[in-house]
Each structure stands twice: as C-alpha cells, then as structure tokens.
Amino acid sequence: MDPTRKVNLHRFPSLRFARFDRDFLLQKKNEPFSIKMRTRRIAAIALIFSPTTTARNNYRKGYPFLHRHHTLLFHTTQFSTNPSPTDVIAISNRKQLQKLLLEKSKTGFHKLEEALSLFRQMARFRPLPSVIDFTQLLTAVAKMKEYSSVISLYKEIRELGIPINEYTLNVLINCFCRLNQGDFGFAILGIFYKCGYTPDVATFTTLINGYVLEGKTSEAVNLFIRLIKYGDIEPNEITYGTIMKGLCKVGDTTMAIRLLRNMQQCNYRPDVVMYSTIIDNLCKDGNIDDALGLLSEMREWDIMPDVVTYSSLVDGLCKSGRVKDATGILNDMTERNIFPDAVTFSMLIDALCKEGRTKEAEAILEIMIRRGEKPNVITYSALMDGYCLQGQMKKAKEVFNSLVDKGLEHNIRSYNILINGFCNKMNIGEAMDLFREMSRKGLKPTTSTYNTLLKGLLHARRCDAADHIFHEMICNGQNPDILTYSILLDGFFKNQKIGKAVEMFRSMQDQGIVPDSFIYSIVINGMCKAGKIEDARKVFSTFLAKGLKPDVKIYTTMISGLCKAALLDEAEELLLQMEKNGCPPNSVTYNIIVRAFLEKGAGPKLEIVLQEMINRSFSPDARTMSILVGLLKDDVQGMGRSLDASTIALGDAQSPWGVASGAIVGHLLATSIAILGGGFLANYISEKLVGIQEQQRVMPNFIT
C-alpha cells in the first residue's frame, strides 16, 4: 500500500469532524452537545492552533470561543521562556541537548519542573532547536502522564514559530485521547491536512485507543472495521492489540478471539500481550479450559507465555477450585525458567488456605522466600485467613504481629481477617481490641469491618453493644449497606429483640435501601418464630404488592409459619399457589408440611402431599423420618403385628420411602381397622402391605 495515499474522507464520516463539516455534526445526534456547541468547540481548536497571529492573539486575550461551562484544559497554564536562575537541568550545547532528549523521550523526566527547565533553555537557543527536538521533549513529558502540560507546551512551541510534523501531531492527539477528549483528538486531523500531512496507522490507532479509554468500544470497533474494509490504512499489530484490549475491557471475549483469528489469517503474528489479555478474560469468565487451550496454542506458535499469562491461569484455576492444576501450572513455569512473582505465589497460597491446606501453603511460602520473592502483606493476610478458617487464632495472631518485624504495615484487610477470626471463635474482647487499635493507627474501618463486628456481637447476644457500634458506624461516615441490615435484622430477631428488628427494617427503607428477597425472608421468618403470624402476613403481602416475585425460600418460610400456627388450610393453599406462580416447592417445603399434617393427623390430605413428594423424588429429612417410624411402630404393634426395630432401620437404610409409605398407609389403614373392623378391610390391608413390599423393592435409594 502506498503510504502517501490520501485517506478518502467520504468513507470515514468520523474524519469530517476534523474538517469541520457541518453535515457530520448533524449526524452526531447521540452526543449531548448541540450543533452550536460543537461548532464552538471546533472553532476553538482551529483558532488556538492556527499559525496566524490574529487568531492566537484573540485566544490569548480570552475571547470566549467556548461555552462558559467547557474550558480547554490548557487554557490555564502558561510557561515562561525567559531566563531562569533556577533551571534544574543545565545544557551547554546542542549535542548534549540532543543526547538528553533522546534519553528522556524513552524514559521520561523524574519531575515536571525538569522538563519545563529544559524547555525554557531550548527556547533561548539561537537558532532554535528543530521540531524533532521539541517533539522528543513533548514525548518525554507525555510519558510522565502530564498530558495537559504537553498541550500547553505545544501551544508555546507554536508561539515560537517552530514548524510541526506528523509526529508532533500524533503526540498531541494521544494526549487529548488520554484526557478523554477524543473529539479534540479528531479535530487535530484537520491540522494534518492543512499542513499537507497524511494520518498514518499510528494516528488512527491512537484515536481508536482514545475511544477505548472513554469506554466507547463500539465506536472503536466501527472505525477499525472501516479501516480494514476500505483499505485506506492497514492496521498493524498494535491496532489489533488495542481493539482486543477494548473488547476484553467490556467483556466481549468471543469477539476478541474472532479478532485474534482474523489477525492470524491476515498473516499477523499475535504477541504475548494479546494472548495474555484474552486468557485473563477467559479465566475471569470461568472458561478455564478455553484459556488453557490458548496457552497450548501460544506454545505451538512459539510465543513464550510470561508471568502475567501464568498468573491469570493460576488465579482462574484457584478460583475454580482446581488448586492441583494451579500447582501444575506453577511447576510448568519454573521448568520453563519463568519464575512466579509475589502476586502468583500469593494467589496459590490464598487458594490452599481457603481449602484448609495451610501446611502446603506454608511450604509454598518457604519456596517463595528461597527464590528471592519477598512476601507482602497480601501474602501473609492469605495465610492468616487460612489459620482463622481452621480456628488456629494463636498462629494467625503470630503472623499478624510478625508483619511489623518484616517491615510491612498492617492494612484494613489484615485487621478484618483477624477480627472475623476472633468473632467466629466468640472471642469478642480480642476482636474489639483490634477494632480500637486499627482506629488508633489511623486506619478507617470499612463497612466490611463493621459488618464483621456486628455479626460477632449479635451472635454473642450483645445486642446493646451491636446497636452502639451501628450508630458509631454512621457517625464515622460509613454508610450501612444491605448486608449490614440483613445482619442486624437476623441478629435482633434471633435474640428476640422484635421491636428493634422492626425499627431497623423501617430505618433501612427510610434510608432508601430497598429490601431484597433475602431481607424479606429474614423478617417473615423472624415474625413467624415470634408468633406474630399476622405481622408476617402483612410483610408477605407488602412483598407481593411491590411486584416482587417470592422465591422458594420465602414461600417455605411463610408456609412454615402458617404450619406452626396450625393454619394448615392456608399452608396448603400457599403450596398450590407457589406451584402456579412458577416456583415449585423443594424438599424442605414438603418436609415441613408433611410434618404438620402428621402432627395434626390430617390423613387424606397427608396421603396426597406424600404422593406428590414421592413423585418429585424428594426424601424425608431426619425429623420427618423419626415421626414416620414412630407412627409405624405404634400402629403395627396396635394391630398385633409387632415389627422389630432393626428391620425398620434396615428398611430405612435401603429404601426410606418404602418405610415412609408403609408408615403412612399402615397408620391410616390401622386407624380404619380400629374404627370399622371386619374381615374385608383386613384383607384390604394385606393387599396394601403386599403392594408396599413390591414398591419397596423397586423404589430407588434417595439417601446416600
């Protein structure tokens, strides 16, 4: 392709923005600026960067080219070119200047003042340094991420009458894009054509990256597709990598992989960064096997994975519970002379500790130290968490105390882990001491810290202390979240503080926090257990009135409350209602209502519910089975057919529903015998028992 070939602007509507085409402005209807506003913005760019003295002077006088609420970033900064006795960098000749600029354009300056000092000296050179020298200076400042300063320096360069080239303009576009001012970046294209330059692939890649940085990935993809479709600019590896980064950023991993394949078909060689970006996204999406497939593909292409690639895989495998595979990846790294860093080691240690394998985690920590990788506070926090999960609070506290000796500072996470550990061990005193200590050290407790402490206090039945901590949380500027209120509601209800729980339920709604299904289930369950079935009904009705759809937990909670209040007809009606509403009952629901019918002796209804339960392949829980076995034993003994308890237990182990069915049918029929008597019914019983035995032989075992 001819690099001097002009870009066909008619094929690129976005580029008409650079030529101030009013038709393009009319097309941009989705932007929150009026046509008049756009015209002013474009005019400001054209005037500010115009080489004409009149335009520049007008701008310097402060004529309002822009709307009063939209000020250019570089309007407020001016750099003096007068001699300064405090120049940080002293340059004696051009050769020294060029050597320094070449070095700084690659590394950047340590301080902005160094760059400004050098610029002042360059401005005093006669003749002035070339545009290449000034562009290298701008590049060095851009590497410091001082993008506004680059734009201001560019304006000073134009004031000095220094001509510009396409590299200078590319640096300027990059700075606008980095400042999320992509519109200004496109406007600079107008200067390209005015100066007779042709934007190249670097220019368009920079603009695409600007879209990505602003979160406008779809616009970036559209521009990229146009470049490929019309062939005016041929994308390179950096362009492909930029688009892939944007796609992965918005979670479109599938499109990123398609782009990777397209790149390979166009005879471009993907690099390790592209593969690592996609592998990281696949791991975050849980597609670990696909990520491992890309790792194998990298090796086939002789692309060496780096520590970032392996770290993403280790993290993904650990979070998927495949710690053994993660260890294998770690071994593979070392065999290929790619040594894990502190991040990789910490991921593996954290995963092992979460599985309770602290001994193995300690071994990994020793390997890490032997390899010269210094564990950080994240590493030791993971180990502390492992000890806390196993209840080894002494070891956890020892690790915590050793951080200072290792030159590490405690952070919020390390305190939270230890506070949570002590709360779980019901050692509230130690937890409170740590809570106060972190405040003394200037660490501000987070919402997570307060939630952990509130849960521990309520579990220890210290409701007043929990209430005090809650108000302290608000006073310290930490807003309670929905988890905070769920902890408080659950704790107050379990401690029979019904009034306080109701107060919290109202308070959270006053604060604008909308209760979710979990909150409603806590409140309904608490009301039911407190015997306030009418209040529970009202809360349930409010839940439905809000248009929310109850889940199986809420239905089951309400059914349980109705059963405890001996309102079995309502419980049965709600059971049918949840089925109609597309929320089928689960095993817990059926066990609750079966027990209620058993205790009341509602024979016919019980037989129907039991049959539904059997049809759904649900098993009786321990409480239900205990009642059933007791009824079977009592009724069969009453009929004169005493059964050995060991036989019942054996039947329970082999086929619990055989026993359950026998208990129900035997109970119902035996009751009928006692009332009616007669040989006919006795024969009927015998037939039923034979049927039960047949059923017992074919019924599958649901309890393993």
Model confidence at 637, pLDDT cuts 50, 70, 90, reads low
pLDDT, position 659? 53
pLDDT, position 11? 41
Q: Is the pLDDT of residue 88 over 80?
A: no
Q: Is the pLDDT of residue 651 over 80?
A: no
More confident residue, 702 or 662: 662
Range among 26-35, 90-99, 462-471 rated most confident: 462-471
Residues 6+ apart with CB under 8 A from 294: 275, 278, 279, 282
Model pTM above 0.85: no
Query: What span, in angstroms and rounded, lies between the C-alpha atoms of 536 and 392?
Result: 41
Range among 97-106, 158-167, 264-273, 489-498 rated most confident: 489-498
C-beta separation of 386 from 395 below 8 A:
no
Closest-CA residue to 50 (of 182, 183, 190):
190
Cα dist from 30 to 25, 34, 69, whole Å: 11, 10, 20
More confident residue, 644 or 580: 580
C-beta separation of 272 from 298 below 8 A:
yes
pLDDT, position 39? 39
Residues 6+ apart with CB under 8 A from 192: 18, 166, 169, 198, 199, 203
* Distance, first Cα to last Cα, the chain: 70
Range among 44-48, 187-191, 266-270, 483-487 rated most confident: 483-487
C-beta separation of 492 from 456 below 8 A:
no
Average pLDDT over residues 320-326: 89
- The token pair that represents 283 in the structure block: 């791991």
Mean pLDDT of the chain: 78
- The token pair that represents 53 in the structure block: 């003295």
Model confidence at 380, pLDDT cuts 50, 70, 90, reads very high
Amino acid letter, 33: F
Q: What is the pLDDT of residues 553-576, one digit of tens each?
A: 889 999 999 988 888 888 888 988
Q: What is the pLDDT of residues 49-58, one digit of tens each?
A: 444 443 344 3
More confident residue, 678 or 500: 500
pLDDT, position 579? 85
Radius of gyration of the chain from its Cα atoms, rounded to whole angstroms: 37
CA 198 to chain centre: 43
More confident residue, 17 or 205: 205
User: Running DSSP on this structure, what letter comes out for residue 273?
Assistant: H
Query: What span, in angstroms and rounded, lies between the C-alpha atoms of 683 and 664?
Result: 18
pLDDT, position 543? 87
More confident residue, 599 or 216: 216
Closest-CA residue to 628 (of 640, 616, 614, 458):
614
C-beta separation of 353 from 365 below 8 A:
no
More confident residue, 58 or 451: 451
Range among 43-47, 441-445, 689-693 rated most confident: 441-445
Q: Is the pLDDT of residue 634 over 70?
A: no
pLDDT, position 663? 52
Exposed e or buried b per residue across 339-375, where buried means at least 16 C-beta atoms within 10 angstroms of its C-beta: ebeebbbbbbbbbbbbeebbebbbebbeebeeeebeb
Q: What is the pLDDT of residues 510-558, one digit of tens each?
A: 988 988 888 998 999 999 888 899 999 899 998 888 888 888 888 999 9
Q: Is the pLDDT of residue 163 over 90?
A: no
Model confidence at 162, pLDDT cuts 50, 70, 90, reads confident
Average pLDDT over residues 437-465: 93
- Burial of residue 617 (CB within 10 Å: 0-12, 13-18, 19+) is exposed
Percentage of the chain beyond pLDDT 70 is: 76
C-beta separation of 278 from 253 below 8 A:
yes
Closest-CA residue to 292 (of 308, 309, 307):
309
Q: Is the pLDDT of residue 491 over 90?
A: yes
Average pLDDT over residues 86-102: 71
Q: What is the pLDDT of residues 239-292, one digit of tens each?
A: 888 989 999 988 889 999 998 898 888 888 888 999 999 999 999 988 999 999
pLDDT, position 649? 45
pLDDT, position 45? 45
Model confidence at 413, pLDDT cuts 50, 70, 90, reads very high
pLDDT, position 434? 94
Phi-psi domain of 648 (left: phi exceeds 0; alpha: psi -120 through 50; beta: other)? alpha
pLDDT, position 291? 93
Cα dist from 396 to 211, 344, 359, 392, whole Å: 47, 22, 13, 6
Model confidence at 662, pLDDT cuts 50, 70, 90, reads low
Average pLDDT over residues 117-138: 86
Q: Is the pLDDT of residue 151 over 80?
A: yes
Q: Is the pLDDT of residue 231 over 90?
A: no
Average pLDDT over residues 596-615: 79
